[in-house]
Amino acid sequence: MDSNQAVIAAALRAYDPEMPVAQAEHAARLTAAALDNGGYAVVKLTEQQTDRHGDPVWPVDTDGPRSDGHVYLFDGHAGMRLGLNGVSTPIWEPEIAESLAAGLLAGARKWAESEKGDRDE
């Protein structure tokens, strides 16, 4: 069972603690396969860190000369923006693309949350 399936199985067992482990694992494998076959990816978002300016950043694995690549969220002249630092293109390895995607999704989620908070005020 891969990590996505393990998370799904744990969620099923949290919902129904009486569910047998084998049943939860089987349901998790079926659920993960259905998501994959439907073109969906379950992605563990990169954990937010803070840069030296106190701004949120999400590290990205890189293969270039710099190993400190990251996605960052900042307030630009025309509003919030996501940026990339230390991420070279073209990207030569799928693991780096996956890391970048996870960082971008995490940054986008934080950005959307901040805009929702602004609208709710």
Burial profile 32-58: b = 16 or more Cβ within 10 angstroms, e = fewer? beeeeeeeeeeeebbebeeeeeeebbb
Answer for the pair 4, 42: CB distance below 8 angstroms, yes or no: yes
Note the pLDDT tens digit of each residue in 3-54: 889 999 999 999 999 999 999 999 999 999 999 999 998 899 999 999 888 8
* Of 20, 25, 74, nearest in space to 50 by CA: 74
Note the pLDDT tens digit of each residue in 53-64: 888 999 998 865
Name 81's bridge partners. 74
Spatial separation of the C-alpha atoms in residues 12 and 110, rounded to whole Å: 27
pTM: 0.80
